[in-house]
């Protein structure tokens, strides 16, 4: 009887071992943040939970963040940056912890979230007339440094005048830099045209 019990216990232990997920040949493993850790394999990234299960499968659109302990994708406020290219231009957006795209790639650059807010470069297309010879509308683009919430709604613009930009991969080989900095919950440092800092309190509209 005792031997039978031991055999049963061994069988259950073996079953538990073979049912556990094994992930092999991993190139890099990050620390956990928001309950998830990034893992790298063959130049693609995925996320695992604290049970070691892959919850977001390997993909190549995750944006890495350079931190003191490495350079890897990371979740803040249950949001992780992703990047998509269109006609040679990079656009940034966010996924949630299930891997679902919750803010479509649309920004020329973007920071990670911090206390449910993120600084992004919002791109706006403006029409200024029509070319009668070509029969086409004349358009130009400007981008603005703005603060968004976790749903992608703009809370306020940090640079209301904006910056002209040419949407051509020859002119925009790398994403424009974000110059503004968040100092505290509603306090921001904004780099002005005089190459000096302006410290401003930003109040969200009611």
Quote the mean pLDDT of the chain: 88
Cβ contacts of 198 within 8 Å, gap of 6 or more: 189, 190, 191, 192
CA distance 165 to 90: 13
Query: Which helix (H) or strand (E) covers residue 79, if one does?
Result: none
pLDDT category at 137 given cuts 50, 70, 90 is confident
For the chain, which residues make up each domain, given as ranges?
100-206
Closest CA to 143 of 151, 129, 154: 154
User: Is 1's pLDDT higher than 50?
Assistant: no
d(CA 111, CA 93): 10
Contact 117, 147 (CB under 8 A): yes
Predicted pLDDT at 126: 81
79 CA to centre of own chain: 7
What's the rounded Cα separation, in Å, for the pair 137 and 42?
45
DSSP state of 6: H
Mean pLDDT score, 103-109? 98
Question: Binning pLDDT at 50, 70 and 90, where does residue 100 land?
Answer: very high
Task: State the virtual CA torsion across 94, 70, 145, 93 in degrees, nearest 10.
Answer: -10
Could you tell me the sign of the dihedral formed by the alpha carbons of 128, 158, 73, 55, in that order?
A: negative
Q: Give residue 138's pLDDT band: very low, low, confident or very high (50, 70, 90).
A: confident
CA distance 112 to 93: 10
């Amino acid at each position: 009887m005792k031997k039978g019990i031991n055999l049963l216990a061994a069988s259950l232990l073996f079953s538990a071992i073979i049912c556990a997920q094994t992930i092999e040949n991993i190139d890099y493993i990050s620390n956990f943040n928001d309950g998830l850790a990034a893992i790298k394999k063959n130049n693609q990234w995925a996320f695992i939970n604290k049970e070691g299960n892959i919850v977001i499968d390997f993909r190549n659109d995750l944006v890495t963040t350079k931190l003191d302990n490495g350079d890897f994708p990371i979740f803040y406020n249950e949001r992780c940056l992703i990047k998509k290219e269109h006609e040679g231009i990079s656009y940034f957006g966010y996924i949630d912890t299930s891997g679902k795209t919750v803010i479509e790639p649309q920004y020329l650059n973007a920071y990670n979230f911090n206390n449910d807010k993120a600084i992004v470069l919002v791109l706006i297309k403006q029409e200024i007339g029509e070319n009668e010879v070509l029969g086409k509308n004349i358009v130009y683009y400007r981008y603005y440094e703005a603060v968004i919430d976790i749903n992608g709604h703009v809370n306020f613009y940090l640079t209301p005048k904006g910056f002209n930009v040419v949407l051509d991969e020859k002119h925009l080989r790398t994403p424009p830099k974000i110059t503004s900095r968040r100092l505290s919950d509603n306090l921001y440092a904004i780099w002005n045209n005089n190459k000096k800092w302006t410290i401003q309190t930003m109040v969200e509209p009611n």
